[in-house]
Each structure stands twice: as structure tokens, then as C-alpha cells.
Amino acid sequence: MSGIKIASLTWNIGNNQADKACMDQLADEVTKDGYIPDIVIVSNQEAKTTIKLKRMSERLAKRLDYEGTSFQQLYEGHMSVNTKPKNIKNYVKPSETSLGILLNPRIADRVSIDYITPPGSVRDKESINKGGVYVVLRIKSESGKERRIGIIACHLDSNSQELRAKEVAKLMDEIGGEELDTVMFVGDHNERLDMEAVEEGSIHGKRCRLKGADEAGVSLEAQKALLDEFGPFSGDGVAHFTDRGFVAAKVSQFTHHEKRGVGETRIKHRRGVPDAGGLDGTILRTAKSIQDTVQAAQVIDVKDAKGQEASDHKAVLVRFEFNPEAADLDAHRAKHHREYLEEKYKLGAANDAVLSALAAADRYICHRASDAEGGRYILDGLLFDKSGLKATEAFVRWLKQHPKAEHSEVRQEALDYLFAKGESYKDCRPSKHHKHSRYAMLKSCGVLEQSVDEPKSCWSNLFQDSFMHMSSSERVAEVQGAEAQHEAARMTVPAVLAC
């Protein structure tokens, strides 16, 4: 098996619960034309659970099977939201933004949840009910090649482009998106048609008429034309996605359309755009060979048991193949990671040794920031005053001051940083032995090796490093041994500092 078949399904259920008819229809769409996916990503917004608190991903898993065996739910995460606060029912039973990962049993042993970047969620502190739920998957090829995919089920802010950009940036930081092989935003991106899609002089009150509309409304042909010319991902696209290298699986019809009167569309002046467009779908950043497998997005008009539209949004299904052995994945990841580091740290031309160390330091900073947000390091922060982060920030300053430092110089500074030696780190504590420790990050990038004939790429895969697979006692022994050797070297050889 070369490519792993992935189907991503997103649906904003409009503060409703999907009934049995909806679930049957969606299961049929996922497996239409005999297509049997290996992984199904289920992203929901404004979704309500059943009386038994079952979410859509779990219900869908029972309707999908491979040779008589039902799909397995690998992961399910959610966060409660109230996007319609004027409706008292939403306080009694809140809606959710949720993410489910379903696996075909035939590849279940090749897909797992990443153990370094744990699943989590981001809630926008300004809009409160927007943000997303995320998980990082580790996928192995038949030969054992391991890749990581970050999946984000999002419901971005509906009124502000600025807030949407902040939410995307926060989600990318939390998930460690800049060092992943592939990242997906699956959900309601809340990007509507531009104002240029509105017929000149047609705005009155909170209504307008879209170009190409008639008394019957906007035909499918007219919808496609409007999306192609005035859609959010036409032209230069949406900056907070396109600037990061994301490509949208374009839809050919509206996924949301607030109709008003005869052939008219609602316009909310706070937004400044008509309330119609391809709001929902999958946006992907991956290697070109994988991007080329993305099929046309399928827009699904989901109907309930009464044959009526079950939501004011349509569901969107996107299929593609992910090949862990793809030859261009490494270069793809390296390009985006380098650009990210250079932009974030305002770094000029730096050599590979410095970039490798900076990548490891940034990896640690982002990991700790994410964990602090989730409360996993509260005691650690109280007891040790975030000493590891302070040391890392000092190490980053040194790297920025010495962009051309040789490998031996970077290695010595890195060891001082890890084991709290020297003036710069005198108030810090040594690195621990944990899988997510400073030591683990730097070791994976080859910075700690005595000499490097062929340096590891600074975009190396931390999660395949041997240190990550050692037992706790083995990791303790290695870190203690490295510290002892460094201390002995400091006692016998004068420090060599980079100019």
C-alpha cells in the first residue's frame, strides 16, 4: 500500500442534532462509488450530542466497515460553545466544536496519536466560542517510515479577519504545525464572498442581491462563477492561510447562504460582506505530490428524516491520498520550517549548526507554551519558576548573536545550556531526562554529537530518535552520563567561545 486514503468530512450542524437519516446519508457519501477510506476525519461545528451523549464521529464509525468489521474511533475531542446566546436551549444543552478520527481496521496498527504533542483545543479569548480542537497523528508506511499529520477541526471567528488570523496562528503554535509533515484545517473557516460579488446599488437595509441572481435565487452555475471570481480563496486568497503555504480544496457551490426575500441575500454590515460563500471545507498544507491527489470537494445537502435541510450549512467531503514515502515530503517540511524560524527570530543568514539548535530550542519553547496552556506544568512552573524556558531564551539569544558559529561552538554552548554551566545559565536548572526535555530536543537534531561529517537536517524527526524509545532508566543514565562528561571536559579544557 503506497497511499493512505483519507476522507475529511466537515459539517456545521447549526446548533442541531443530526438524526438517523442524516447519519445514513453521510455514511453513504463517504463510501460512495465503492470508495473505502483508511482514515476518516470528522469535524463538526455547532453540534449537539444525542440523549446518550454520542457524537457524530462515533455514530458514523458504526456505519462504516471493512470486510464486516466496523471502523475504530481512534480519537474524539470537543469543546462546548454557545454561538447563539439568545436561545435559552443552548444553555441547557450547549453545542460543541468537535473532532473525531476514524480508522479502517486494516491500517489501525499504523496510525496512532502523537505522544509528544498531546491533543488539545484553542478557545479564542475574545470571541469565546470560536477556535478549534486538534490532534497530531503518527502514520507509518509499510516499511516503517513515520510521518506526522496535524489535524485541526476549526470554527473560526465569523466577524473579524484579524481574529481569524490570530486563531490560525494560535492553533499552529499549539499543534507545532511548522515542523509537521502535513497540516489540515477542517471546518467552518467563515470566509464569505467579497463585496464585489454584490450587484451595484442593490443594498438596502440588511439585504442585497448577488451578481447573477434572479427571482429564483442563485443558480449552481452562478454560485460557481461567484466563488471563482469573488470567493475567499480566489486570487491572492486568505492571507493567514496562503502566506503559510496552505491550499484550499475549492468548492463549486455555496456551503452557506442566508437568503432574504425574493432572490436576495442577507448582508451583515459589521462583517461588511454578503452572508454567502464557501465557508466550509478542508485547507491543506503538504507536499505537492500529495496535494496533487486531492479530489474536488463534494458539497452535501444533508436532509433530515422529514426531507428538510438539516442545517443552514452544507457538509463538505474531501478525499486525498497520503503517502508516507513521498519523496518531496522532507523538502516540503524543511522549507516551511526554515521560513518560520527565520521570520519568528528575525534571523539573517545562519548556518546549519545554528539553525539545527534554534529549531530544537523553538520546539521546546512551543511545547512548553502549549502544555502551560493546558495546565500540565502548573506545579513545575510554580516550583522552578520556568527555569527551563529562561535558559532556552538565553540560548536563543546566543544563537542569534552567533549565526555563523561552528558546530563545536554550538555544541559547547548547548551543553552549557542543558546542564546550567557558565554565567548565562547560572540561575537555571539542568535539563531532565523526559521525552520532551531540552536534552531530547537537542539530541534529535544532532547538535550534541562530537563531530558531524554529514549534519542531520535541523528539520529532523524528533519522534524517531532512539532517545524517545528508551526506558526511563536508560534516559536517566544517558543524561547523567552526558552531564558528567561535559563537567569533566570543562575542568580540563578551557571554553572556546564563538566570536
- Rounded to whole angstroms, the Cα distance separating 486 from 46 reads 55
In this prediction, residue 487 carries a pLDDT of: 85
pLDDT at 74 over 70: yes
- Rounded to whole angstroms, the Cα distance separating 245 from 290 reads 14
Q: Could you give the percent of the chain with pLDDT greater than 90?
A: 59
Q: pLDDT tens-digit profile of 360-416?
A: 888 888 777 665 554 444 445 554 457 888 899 999 999 999 999 999 999 999 999
Alpha-carbon torsion (255, 260, 264, 266), positive or negative: negative
CATH superfamily of 1-190+289-327: Endonuclease/exonuclease/phosphatase (3.60.10.10)
Q: pLDDT tens-digit profile of 247-303?
A: 999 999 999 999 998 899 999 888 889 999 999 999 999 999 999 999 999 999 999
pLDDT at 497 over 60: no
In this prediction, residue 362 carries a pLDDT of: 87
In this prediction, residue 384 carries a pLDDT of: 46
In this prediction, residue 248 carries a pLDDT of: 94
In this prediction, residue 385 carries a pLDDT of: 55
Place of cell 499552529: 172
Instruction: Using pLDDT thresholds of 50, 70 and 90, give the confidence band for residue 334.
Output: confident
Residue-averaged pLDDT of the chain = 88
Q: Count the neighbouring beta carbons within 10 Å of the beta carbon of residue 141.
A: 18
Cβ neighbors of 75 (< 8 A, separation 6 or more) are 99, 100, 101, 113, 119, 135
Q: pLDDT tens-digit profile of 421-439?
A: 888 888 888 888 887 788 8
pLDDT at 167 over 60: yes
pTM for this predicted structure? 0.86
Domain boundaries, the chain: 1-190+289-327, 198-278, 345-492
Q: pLDDT tens-digit profile of 116-165?
A: 678 999 998 887 889 999 999 999 998 888 899 999 999 999 999 999 99
